[in-house]
Chains A and B, each alone.
Chain A
Amino acid sequence: MIVSILLSVLLAGAMYLGISVGSTGSNFGDSLRLLIMDESQDSVPEAIIRQIRLPRVLLAALVGAALSLGGLVFQALLRNPLAEPYILGISGGSAIGAIFGIILGFSYFPGVSIMAFTGSLATLILLLVMSSGQTLFKKDSLLLSGVMVNAFCSAVIMFLISMTRDARLHNIIFWLMGDLSTADIGRVGALSAVLLPCFILLFWLSNTMNLLLMGRDMAQTMGLNIKIVTITLLVVTSFMISATVSYCGLIGFVGLVIPHLLRMILGSDHRILVPACVLGGSAYMVLCDLLAKVLPSQGEMPAGVITALIGAPLFIYLLKRSDR
């Protein structure tokens, strides 16, 4: 309870910072006034805050929540604290699908999104087949399969990029690095319409994830239908991941950092972890995006760069510690 209040405060603070800080200077008082007052005059700062910063912050929050939940679900499902959609190549798979969509000139919705979903499902199935049966739950084999799938996906992505010659090239590359700057309020609304039901469904399945961590046999004899639950979780998560990937590219390691931190503080009960991941993931992503905006002296860098810079060393640290 206390933690959830703290996380909400953190999220609110991070969002407020995200709205206030930007290249046109930051004015904390003004931005609050502009947000609260409905019918103010059409000033430039208002336009910037309403049409650029606010959607961007909302997008970052949504994406952060979706990615950290994605990580949490994969970790429970595969009983592996190092599993994460990005590391396992699921994100890469949906990126391939999305790039195909972009090259073929589809619109963002539904074309590119459906392609991304197909891509993520395909990599998921490939991954499960590769490490099927007993070895599915062996940590090393699963992670290795994931790394290989990811490497293969990167190769395909590079191939597709090298085949592209026109203005779409810059778009693809910047999008691929995990870019949140293209947010507009309509698309953010569409994304939240897709993601919020997923969050609710996952919360509803949170006790199921607890039982899954006790191993398949025990979960089954506590009344769980493993097959249905596993498939539901996998499909919902891939759907969530592909929705975020098709919007803002590859943002890695959020699903590793946030669930891990929260598990250290809150323990392993998913009925607490699922809402905590939504709040914590949002706040983390908003802050990362803020850093991406503020750190470069000129222009901006994609938020995916920041999350990878933080997440990759942590992954190595966790891998090393799990060897004990």
Chain B
Amino acid sequence: MTPVISVNNLDYSYGNISVLNGISFQIQRGDFFIIIGPNGSGKTTLLRLLAGIISAGNGRIDVLGGFIEDYARKALARKIAYVPQSVPVDFPFTVSEVVLMGRSPHLGMLGLEKENDLLKAKQAIKFTELDHLADRRTNQLSGGECQRVFIARAICQETEIILLDEPTASLDLAHQTRIMDLMEKLQKERDVTVIMVSHDVNLAAMYGKTLLLLKEGRIVCHGTPDEVLTFQTLEAAYGCTLLVDESPLGRFPRVTPVPGRLMGVKD
């Protein structure tokens, strides 16, 4: 089976500063793929490359068997949806308007929606449990609700792949779980490939099927949570003492940082 995304020997640098270095991996259809790693390890840059927002200096990214640079913007937007970490809400669109915008890559220039598009938006709103907020303006919502609106927009885009940049950052515990449950449901029920950048190693352990651990632009480890989240790999990546045991819920590893035990001076 061809992978949905295949990355080959990818390099990227901002000016003279190298951010990604010789990255190669593949993502299979229906995966819940989480990219983890310390600050500045190149996670977000990698995600933006996969989204086609920036283009790579060297190396090659293939999406669904085709070279990413060969896709027209609109064609790529029918394959990959992207949820950024934060979205400006200076201009008060309603929740339904934002979700409906997800149909744009399927529409003509004016973006006039047909009956079918309105239905798709309605389904996405229902899927994300936003029905009661549909007519609210986005600047009147909480952080967690806002995040769900932009995920609903991505679902409405009806793509095989959804990329998310730290969707749970700055959310409380309940909202974190809610967002992750939502993505898991999407991946399981609709066979969407979910690719996510996360800071939270424990959330990654609970939800991820495949993890990619980055450090300073290189892959430290790539595999299942059990393979990636070990004492050795995590210490190598984060440079601090960590306790890794099994979660009391069973089935996945649990990572606990040990206070006051920073190893070396790695920042």
Which A residues form the contact surface with B (CB < 8 A)? 76, 79-81, 137, 203-208, 210-211, 213-215, 217-218, 220-225, 263, 267-269, 271
Contacts and interface: CB of A to CB of B under 8 A. Distances in A.
Contacts of A271: 110-112
Nearest to A322: B90
Interface stretch (B98-106, B231-239, B255-263): B98-106
B76 A214 contact: no
B82 A217 contact: yes
Given A204-B110, A223-B105, A268 B51 contact: no
Contacts of B77: 221-223
A207 B84 contact: no
Given A203-B110, A221-B52, A221-B80, 11 more contacts: A76-B91, A210-B101, A211-B101, A217-B51, A220-B51, A222-B101, A222-B102, A223-B76, A223-B77, A223-B105, A267-B92
Given A207-B111, A213-B91, A217-B51, A222 B157 contact: yes
A263 B97 CA distance: 14
B94 interface: yes
Contacts of A206: 110
A211 B48 CA distance: 18
B163 to A, nearest CB: 8
A265 to B, nearest CB: 12
Interface of B: 48, 51-53, 73-78, 80-84, 87-88, 90-94, 97-98, 101-102, 104-105, 107, 109-112, 137, 150, 157, 163
A268 B104 contact: no
A248 to B, nearest CB: 30
B160 to A, nearest CB: 14
A269 B94 CA distance: 9
Contacts of A210: 93, 97, 101, 111
B96 to A, nearest CB: 11
A267 B97 contact: yes
A269 B137 CA distance: 12
A207 B110 CA distance: 5
A225 B74 CA distance: 9
B88 A79 contact: yes
Contacts of B157: 222
B111 A223 contact: no
